[in-house]
Amino acid sequence: MFEADEEITEIDDTEIKVLPELERGNDTEITDVLALINFDANFQTYELVDIDDDDAEVSESDFELDNDDHQILVTAQDGDATEYYTITVLDKLDDTSIVEEEDQEVFTVNGDGVEVVYGTTVEELLAAIDEEELFQAVTVHFNNLDLKETGEVRDFNVLRVEAQDGTVKLYTLFVADEVVEDSDDVSVSTDVDLIAEVDGLNITVEKFIADDDEEDGYRRTLWSDLIEALEEDDEDRSYEVVTSSGSEKVKGYLFDYDLLVVTAEDGEETETYTIHLYDNEYDLED
């Protein structure tokens, strides 16, 4: 027995089974087989012989795989023990399944469909597929089957997988919805009604608000008025008004040094602003 690389898939007694190709498109030859065997590990020597011709020596160029008469004669270190080995070439693979590169996060196979992450390019998709594992040829095509070599993958593009033996399977590509990261923005601005000025973590809020139901046409600003104005500007964030001591405000007017707590859309980032009131009563009277 001798030592050999894994491309020799099996040694069954005196039969050596080898893959039909060690690289797609290049048929395995006797030189490939010999390169995979480590005769030196056990101080062995070998000859290529034709047993039907009294063990006549066969050159590498004339040696035929899958020919029972052409064999490898291996001689042990002692020069006496010998063994003849035949070589059997396995059938080419007809497997058109998709082999994923380890830890790839680009696509998911679902039957005859493949869903790819939004924004994935042709190059990124092909890089996530291990076509060499099964000696395949994998390409991306437009839905009319013209070759697509670059650009982003689109819905109904086609993934063509050609097995080692020429068997072809077509997979329909679908693009997943874009994943939009939740914002971590906690800033406020004077674009919001009632906010007259923003200075760092201090905001100036109008003390009075117009109200046609009131006799004077205006009233004191409630904390809920500020929350409503903020939510109209950005409803994906959450807002809370608390007293200067941190107690929750559940009703009533805004006061100087009340605190506005803004929580970003991502639910993690927060910021606290100190409220200062701007006496806009005369502005409303005008």
pLDDT in tens, the chain (286 residues): 455 555 555 677 888 888 898 888 889 999 999 988 888 877 889 999 999 999 999 999 999 998 999 999 999 998 888 999 999 999 999 999 999 999 999 999 999 999 999 999 999 999 999 998 898 999 999 999 999 999 999 999 999 999 999 999 999 999 999 887 778 899 999 999 999 999 999 999 999 998 888 888 889 999 999 999 999 998 889 999 999 988 888 789 999 999 999 999 888 999 999 999 998 876 666 5
* Torsion angle, alpha carbons of 186, 188, 194, 198, to 10: 130
Q: Specify if 188 maps to a domain.
A: no
Q: Are residues 80 and 140 in the same domain?
A: no
For the record, the structure tokens of 105 come out as 């996060």
- Do 136 and 166 share a domain, yes or no? yes
Q: Is 121 found in the same domain as 75?
A: no
Query: Looking at the domain assignment, is residue 156 inside a domain?
Result: yes
Query: Do 122 and 71 fall within a single domain?
Result: no
Model confidence pTM above 0.85: no
Residue 4, number of CB atoms within 10 A of its CB: 19
Sheet with strand 82-89: strands edge to edge: 8-12, 15-18, 82-89, 70-75, 45-50, 56-57
Q: CA 85, CA 81: separation in Å to the nearest integer? A: 14
Cα end-to-end span (Å), the chain: 105
Domain with 221, as residue range(s), is 195-285
On whether both 85 and 24 belong to a single domain, the answer is: yes
Q: What does the buried/exposed string (b/e) look like for 144-176 if buried means 16 or more CB atoms within 10 Å of the residue's CB?
A: eeeebeeeebeeebbbbbbbbeeeebebbbbbe
For residue 229, being part of any structural domain is answered with yes
Question: Considering the domain boundaries, does residue 99 fall inside one?
Answer: no
Residue 181 belongs to a domain: no
Tell me, yes or no, whether 211 and 162 share the same domain. Answer: no
Q: Are residues 142 and 224 in the same domain?
A: no
Residue 101 lies in a domain: no
What pLDDT, on a 0 to 100 scale, did the predictor assign at position 284?
65
Residues 75 and 142 in one domain: no
Structure confidence at residue 280 (pLDDT) = 85
Arithmetic mean of pLDDT over the chain: 90
Provide the domain count of the chain. Answer: 3
* Residues 69 and 17 both lie in one domain: yes
